Amino acid sequence: MAPVIVLDRYYLAITFLITLAYQLFGFAIAWTFQFDKITDLTGGSNFIILSLITLLLGQTFCARNLLTSIFVMLWAVRLASFLLFRVLRRGSDARFDSIRHHFWKFFGFWIGQTIWIWTVSLPLTILNSPSISGGSEGSCDRPTFGGRDIVGVVIFWFGWSLESAADLEKYFWKASNPSKDVIMNKGLWKWSRHPPYFGEILCWWGIWVLCLSPAISPDSGLNSSARAALYCSIISPLFTMIILLFASGIPPAEKAQAKKFYTLGAEEARDVYAPDLPVAQKQNREQRPWPTLVLAQLQRHGTGTNPILLRRPSCSLSRPHSIVHSPQS
């Protein structure tokens, strides 16, 4: 069957309208009942809806289209179910404590979630669209599934496994009721301060690489506009990186941890705060650079960068502790 054209040949309008309507519906429920528990569920399930709708409308069930759609749904199911389980256990989501009762701030979050879902889904949306699926005339060998696609699959699976394992490690560690003056630095968390974010970034780079072959291959039969659209869908992994590195991911998590580290003691923080990337640092711990946000928080609390306070710590802690919520915790 030929792909079904709805509003435009790239499915950009229909996917945006579906996402906007679905997120506004979620906002109406959350605002009316002051209810946090559907937020992540609504976000994750929206990815599943877009995956199914674009795949079924596009009517191209080749390995590349099927794997990309399945991978996006698998990523969304795992993340949404994990976050839903976590918020059900906690009773509420502390991220919304400061905005839950402010209409425009809360509304702004849901609009931001709409933009995030639609933007990150672009590689899949465009791949399943008539401009790409129609260009190959339903043939699964234009181009054939090859080495570049396998690279995308490997990147995705590595990132998904990393993200899943890191979330489970943190969950089971917290479930073991560790002392509140102990900082998680086991398993993947020994090598990275934010392994789930690193894994999520890899997932979306893998998805984009998997979608890219029709744009590169001369056998795809695509025109220049369709090729350009696939290339431009790189905005998906780039947007994911920007959001996690500079906006709603690492900055609030770093800020919360910096406050906690100050409470626990600046010396202990330096010793256990692992590098950003999953690569072991070989340098002496006393030479390990402090994260900028941690330094800013310590200076704000009056600790500054006194070399005595920043020396390699002892093993004991004497300061009282406090629990500060982190979106990644």
Q: What is the pLDDT of residue 312?
A: 37
Question: Band of the pLDDT at 315, cuts 50, 70, 90?
Answer: very low
Least confident of 9-13, 34-38, 64-68, 289-293: 289-293
CA angle at 229 for the pair 125 and 240, rounded to the nearest 5°: 60
Q: What is the pLDDT of residue 106?
A: 86
Question: Band of the pLDDT at 187, cuts 50, 70, 90?
Answer: confident
**318, 240 in Cβ contact below 8 A?**
no
Is the per-residue pLDDT at 327 higher than 60? no
Residues 141, 146, 152, 155, CA torsion sign: positive
Instruction: Name, in order, each residue with C-beta under 8 angstroms of 14's C-beta and a sequence gap of 6 or more.
Output: 6, 7, 8, 53
Question: Band of the pLDDT at 328, cuts 50, 70, 90?
Answer: low
Please name the residue ranges forming H helices in 34-134: 39-58, 63-90, 103-120, 122-127, 130-133
Q: What is the average per-residue pLDDT within 175-199?
A: 82
**77, 41 in Cβ contact below 8 A?**
no
Three-state DSSP class for residue 8? strand
Please report, rounded to a whole number, the percentage of residues in the chain having pLDDT higher than 90. Answer: 39
Least confident of 57-66, 232-241, 303-312: 303-312
Sequence-distant contacts of 246-252: CB under 8 A, at least 24 apart: 248/327, 249/194, 249/197, 249/327, 249/328, 250/193, 250/194, 250/197, 251/293, 252/95, 252/326, 252/327
CA Rg, the chain, in Å? 22
Q: How far apart are CA 189 and CA 244, in angstroms?
A: 17
Least confident of 130-144, 229-243, 310-324: 310-324
Please name the residue ranges forming H helices in 122-246: 122-127, 130-133, 147-175, 195-216, 224-232, 235-246
Residue range 250-291, pLDDT digits in tens:
877 777 666 666 655 545 554 544 444 443 344 444 444 445
End-to-end distance of the chain based on CA atoms, in angstroms? 47
> Residue 324 corresponds to which amino acid?
V
Residue 229 is given by DSSP the state: H
Residue range 81-137, pLDDT digits in tens:
888 887 777 776 667 667 778 889 889 889 999 999 999 999 999 999 999 886 556
Q: What is the pLDDT of residue 283?
A: 40
Q: What is the pLDDT of residue 47?
A: 96
Instruction: Please give the helix or strand (H or E) that residue 267 lies within, else none.
Output: helix 266-272
Is the per-residue pLDDT at 149 higher than 50? yes
pTM: 0.77
Least confident of 133-137, 198-202, 318-322: 318-322
Which of 158-162, 250-254, 288-292, 313-317 tops mean pLDDT? Answer: 158-162
Q: How far apart are CA 60 and CA 294, in angstroms?
A: 49
Three-state DSSP class for residue 242? helix
Q: How far apart are CA 256 and CA 327, in angstroms?
A: 9
Q: Count helices and strands (H / E) in the chain.
A: 13, 0
